[in-house]
């Protein structure tokens, strides 16, 4: 396993991208709008996603501000097989909070588990 990205919700996507690229020196690696879900995802980092972890900025079009307490999203881990990883985690006493399956408004196969404090961990299958 390896860490893929950490997601945070942002109220002003353009301002956030400017901060991470201009202030922190990251690169905008990719960006995609999901009109049916009314959100945009932007991924930023210091190198290729296939080699390094990055930050995922999620902008929900109808939300302009978040309290710090609900700004946290999740930590993502790459796994060989999302379905098997969930079965293994469950067998070891872990809690699966979102069963494996396609992403809403997309096709990526994912699942979520939670840590003892309730923080979300996203499991994503390796991309071919």
Examine the pLDDT at 128 and tell me if it is beyond 80. no
pLDDT at 48 exceeding the cut of 90:
yes
The full set of domains in the chain, from first to last, is 2-125 (3.10.180.10)
Give catalytic status of residue 14 as yes or no: no
Kindly report the average pLDDT of the chain as a whole number.
93
What pLDDT is recorded for position 107? Answer: 85
More confidently predicted of 110 and 106: 110
Transcribe 37-53 into DSSP letters.
TTEEEEEEESS-TTTS-
- Nearest C-alpha neighbor of 112 from the set 128, 92, 126, 94: 94
Contact 79, 4 (CB under 8 A): no
Say yes or no to pLDDT of 68 above 80. Answer: no
- Residue of 22, 49, 51, 122 with catalytic role: 122
């Amino acid at each position: 396993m390896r860490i893929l990205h950490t997601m945070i919700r942002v109220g002003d996507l353009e301002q956030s991208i400017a901060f991470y690229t201009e202030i922190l020196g990251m690169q905008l690696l990719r960006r995609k709008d999901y009109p049916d879900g009314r959100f945009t995802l932007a991924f930023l980092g210091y190198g290729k996603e296939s080699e390094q972890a990055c930050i995922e900025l999620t902008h929900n079009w109808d939300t302009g501000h978040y309290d710090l307490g609900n700004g946290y999203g999740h930590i993502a881990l790459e796994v060989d097989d999302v379905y098997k990883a969930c079965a293994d985690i469950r067998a070891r006493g872990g809690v699966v909070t979102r069963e494996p399956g396609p992403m809403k408004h997309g096709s990526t196969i994912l699942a979520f588990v939670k840590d003892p404090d309730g923080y979300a961990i996203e499991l994503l299958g390796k991309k071919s």
